[in-house]
Amino acid sequence: MLNKKLQQTLPSIQPGWVWLAGAGPGDVGLLTLLCLQGLQQADVIVYDALVGDNILALAREDAAFEYAGKRGGRPSVKQHDICERMVELARSGKRVLRLKGGDPLVFGRGGEEARHLAGAGIPFRIVPGVTAGVGGLAYAGIPATDRHTNSAVTFMTAHGADGGLAKDIDWDALVKASPFLVIYMGLSRVGQIADKLREAGLKSSEAVAVVSRASMIDQKVLETTLGECADDVSKAGLKAPALLVIGENIKLRQGLDWLGAIFEGRTLDPDVGHIRPQGKRFDS
Ligand code: SAH
């Protein structure tokens, strides 16, 4: 837990305030100090499905917990109701920690919630977290950028507001502009996404990785290709949450999979994991 000096150095949640915080992708070690301070000071913790028990266990002993996510087929709590509940808690003088997976402003509706609080005159602080698309990839040994392969990376979701595949994505522009794609909420639509990317010109042999439950105890990484990913994913039975990752950097994983090396007791060879020097990504 935080020592006295750190506790005093960091800001404290005041009564009537909401801290909108990200808990990172899963590993407790990826919590920020501010998030830990929030956990230890909050009277009420309003948390989402992606926040694990290992993290909630760090809360103050007498903290109250309110679940605000989807789990086990239960109907999800309505976004508006979550916002209203936070306002109600803050107005009653509680110190509220609103805890989300990853970073609260990355595919996490944190912006919407903060706007609602602002509209109701509730003071808040935003506490960033390690987003899955960065921290989760690091746990899979896949660099988000590498100077030999990509000077751009795209974090995206293919999940549209209506629950289907997002309709407003310009797939042609996407594959041309970004050599490395990190797709959130894509696991259940992997086949459709692969089809769109191939229609946009990416080769069937393009490297794909699926990083399931990154930084959690049951993390799994599947390396496959655009042509085979849909079949491979259903065969492997990977669990959510998972990221779909597309691009050459995946090949660096062979030399960078530090977590696999720890589990399997092997050493990493810096010479394995290569990148095609002038690889052509497009069919046309
Ligand atoms: N705010 C979160 C993202 C929420 S959207 C963040 O910044 O990370 C939910 C999606 O995030 C999941 O469908 C999955 O694609 C991704 N995700 C979150 N945690 C993950 C994890 N530990 N491993 C793999 N993907 C994860």
Q: What is the CATH number of domain 133-274?
A: 3.30.950.10
Residue 1 is among the residues annotated as catalytic for this protein: no
Every domain of the chain with CATH number 3.40.1010.10 lies at 4-130
Mutation probe of ligand 1 site: the residue of 107, 113, 137, 189 with most atoms within 8 A of C-beta: 107
Q: Which residue has the higher pLDDT, 24 or 148?
A: 24
Q: Is the pLDDT of residue 274 over 60?
A: no
- List where CATH 3.30.950.10 sits in the chain: 133-274
Which residue of the set 48, 103, 146, 257 is catalytic? 48
Architecture of domain 4-130: 3-Layer(aba) Sandwich (3.40)
**Packed helices 110-119 and 79-91: angle between N→C axes, nearest 10 degrees:** 50
Active-site annotation holder among 70, 176, 235, 239: 70
Catalytic annotation present for 146: no
Lowest mean pLDDT among 100-109, 147-156, 241-250, 260-269: 260-269
pLDDT tens for 195-220 read 999 999 999 999 999 999 999 999 99
Known catalytic membership, residue 48: yes
Q: With helix as H, strand as E and coil as C, how does 226-261 read? A: CCCHHHHHHHHCCCCCEEEEECHHHHHHHHHCHHHH
In this structure, what token pair is assigned to residue 134?
A: 């960065």
Region 218-244: mean pLDDT is 96
pTM of the model: 0.94
Please identify which residue in the block is written with the tokens 């509940």.
85
Task: Give the whole-number percent of the chain exceeding pLDDT 90.
Answer: 83
Q: Binning pLDDT at 50, 70 and 90, where does residue 280 land? A: low
Query: For 50-106, what is each residue's pLDDT tens digit?
Result: 999 999 999 999 999 999 986 655 667 889 999 999 999 999 999 999 999 999 999
